[in-house]
């Protein structure tokens, strides 16, 4: 394992040092191969070393890497137009940052700018949600354990339980500016919000005159079988945020807002946001998703994986539920044994992640094919059987 005494131990790492990747696979320092169903925490829609992505990155880094946002660059302009078109949210404009948290910060600032002159300062968010680790996005996160050590934080947020449209409606007072939801709650345990609840959130926001913000940092860019998961429920938010998959492994985040809500000159900024290199990489991601029909693949393979897992895990006493949307899949356990399952899967040559202590998460590249899906399904069933025996015994 890499010796890293100089690194702040913010992450509990799995016992592997990875050195190389290709397609659906990564390799450790001893040359051992792993099927990558962690997918860089959902950041690798094209898998590793995708030829189209590599070519775009090589070409652009040779041509122009970075000049700051004080100058026009073609890749950013083209990327913004492509994202605005793909997200199909009406007339929109895009702000680029470098991460999910930064995309959400931009969204929160847009909400603030819109609401403040009307005395609308509160944002209704969901219990169990996750929106990032910066001060504002942490305040928006409905997980007290993550906030606790840093409180008091911003008091803009009120939390209501997911799936409770009545509570959501009740929390929207005269001072409310926005409703903030993740269409599939990722870090909270891969919990898809129902179409009915998402539609209710849209209708309530509209009737009460507040904005609807969808955090699609994890669920967007094809992960759930559509460019944005909210569209699967027929819901169009006023603002949506994207990050993880967008750069195909390079850091980029985007806040997409209705044109009339957009920042004006001087109201927001990010030095690196949407630079030529990362924008060219993101364009290659969007092109490959289209050309290789990866939205369809995510939808079809996701259903297949979840269906097969439900069959393979039927009667398994450790498992309460298999759920998700597209290739954002969670296996909910009845005890907090997700880490043990992830470790058992590493032994079997498959990478996955935890989304809370009792949910094992699969976020493979969107290029995954049936043979790799079947290998992963068999490994998950076997790993859970092993951990289940250990828990019981
Ligand atoms: N929003 C959601 C829904 C996320 O899942 C995440 C990260 O997991 C974030 C925001 C924060 O993104 P980042 O870690 O890129 O800042």
pLDDT higher than threshold 90 for residue 281: yes
Query: What pTM does this model have?
Result: 0.98
pLDDT higher than threshold 80 for residue 68: yes
Taking the CA of residue 187 as reference, the ligand 1 atom at the shortest distance is 5
Q: Which H or E run includes 192?
A: strand 191-192
- What sign has the CA pseudo-torsion 37, 14, 44, 59? negative
Q: What is the mean pLDDT of residues 177-198?
A: 98
Using 50, 70 and 90 to split pLDDT, how confident is the model at 309?
Answer: very high
pLDDT higher than threshold 80 for residue 11: yes
Taking the CA of residue 101 as reference, the ligand 1 atom at the shortest distance is 16
Q: What is the mean pLDDT of residues 134-160?
A: 98
Q: What is the pLDDT of residue 393?
A: 76
Q: What is the mean pLDDT of residues 48-58?
A: 98
Q: What is the pLDDT of residue 392?
A: 83
Q: Which H or E run includes 360?
A: strand 359-362
> Which residue CA neighbors atom 13 of ligand 1 most closely?
100
pLDDT, tens only, 202-251: 999 999 999 999 999 999 999 999 999 999 999 999 999 999 999 999 99
CA 141 – ligand 1 centroid, Å: 10
Residue bearing tokens 């345990």: 189
Q: What is the pLDDT of residue 2?
A: 84
> How far apart are alpha carbons 250 and 235 in whole angstroms?
29
Cβ–ligand 1 contact at 216 (below 6 Å)? no
> How far apart are alpha carbons 247 and 252 in whole angstroms?
6
> How far apart are alpha carbons 301 and 299 in whole angstroms?
6
**Residue among 40, 41, 97, 101 to mutate when testing ligand 1 (max atoms within 8 A of CB):** 101
Cβ–ligand 1 contact at 218 (below 6 Å)? yes
Taking the CA of residue 132 as reference, the ligand 1 atom at the shortest distance is 11
DSSP letters for 290-332:
HHTTHHHHHHHHHHHHHHHHHHHTTT-TTEEEEEEETTEEEEE
Q: What is the pLDDT of residue 1?
A: 82
Q: What is the mean pLDDT of residues 1-5?
A: 89
CA 191 – ligand 1 centroid, Å: 15
Percent over 70 (pLDDT), the chain = 100
CA 389 – ligand 1 centroid, Å: 34
> How far apart are alpha carbons 160 and 73 in whole angstroms?
42
> How far apart are alpha carbons 373 and 363 in whole angstroms?
11
> Which residue CA neighbors atom 1 of ligand 1 most closely?
131
């Amino acid at each position: 394992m890499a010796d890293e005494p100089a690194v702040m131990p913010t992450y509990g790492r799995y016992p592997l040092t990875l050195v190389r990747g290709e397609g659906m696979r990564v390799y450790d320092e001893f040359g051992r191969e792993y099927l990558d169903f962690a997918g860089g925490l959902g950041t690798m829609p094209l898998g590793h070393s995708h030829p189209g992505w590599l070519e775009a990155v090589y070409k652009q880094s040779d041509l122009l890497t970075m000049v700051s946002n004080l100058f026009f660059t073609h890749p950013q302009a083209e990327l913004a137009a492509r994202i605005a078109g793909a997200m199909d949210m009406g007339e929109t404009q895009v702000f680029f940052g470098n991460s999910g948290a930064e995309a959400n910060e931009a969204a929160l600032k847009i909400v603030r700018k819109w609401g403040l002159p009307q005395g609308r300062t509160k944002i209704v968010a969901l219990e169990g949600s996750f929106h990032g680790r910066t001060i504002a996005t942490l305040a928006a996160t409905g997980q007290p354990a993550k906030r606790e050590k840093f409180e008091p934080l911003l008091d803009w947020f009120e939390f209501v339980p997911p799936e409770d449209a009545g509570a959501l409606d009740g929390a929207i007072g005269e001072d409310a500016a926005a409703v903030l939801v993740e269409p599939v709650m990722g870090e909270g345990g891969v919990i898809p919000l129902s179409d009915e609840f998402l539609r209710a959130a849209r209708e309530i926001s509209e009737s009460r005159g507040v904005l609807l913000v969808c955090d699609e940092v994890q669920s967007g860019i094809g992960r759930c079988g559509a460019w944005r998961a909210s569209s699967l429920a027929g819901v169009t938010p006023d603002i949506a945020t994207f990050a993880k998959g967008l750069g195909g492994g390079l850091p980029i985040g985007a806040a997409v807002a209705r044109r009339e809500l957009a920042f004006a000159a001087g109201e927001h900024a990010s030095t690196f946001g949407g630079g030529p290199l990362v924008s060219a990489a993101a364009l290659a991601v969007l092109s490959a998703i289209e050309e290789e029909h990866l939205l369809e693949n995510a939808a079809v393979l996701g259903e297949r994986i979840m269906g097969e897992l439900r069959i393979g895990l039927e009667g398994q006493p450790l498992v309460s539920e298999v759920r998700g949307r597209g290739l954002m899949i969670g296996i909910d356990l009845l005890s907090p044994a997700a880490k043990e399952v992830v470790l058992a899967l590493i032994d079997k040559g498959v990478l996955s992640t935890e989304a809370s202590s009792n949910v094992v998460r699969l976020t493979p590249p969107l290029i995954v094919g049936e043979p790799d899906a079947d290998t992963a399904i068999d490994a998950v069933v076997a790993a859970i059987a092993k951990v289940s025996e250990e828990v019981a015994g």
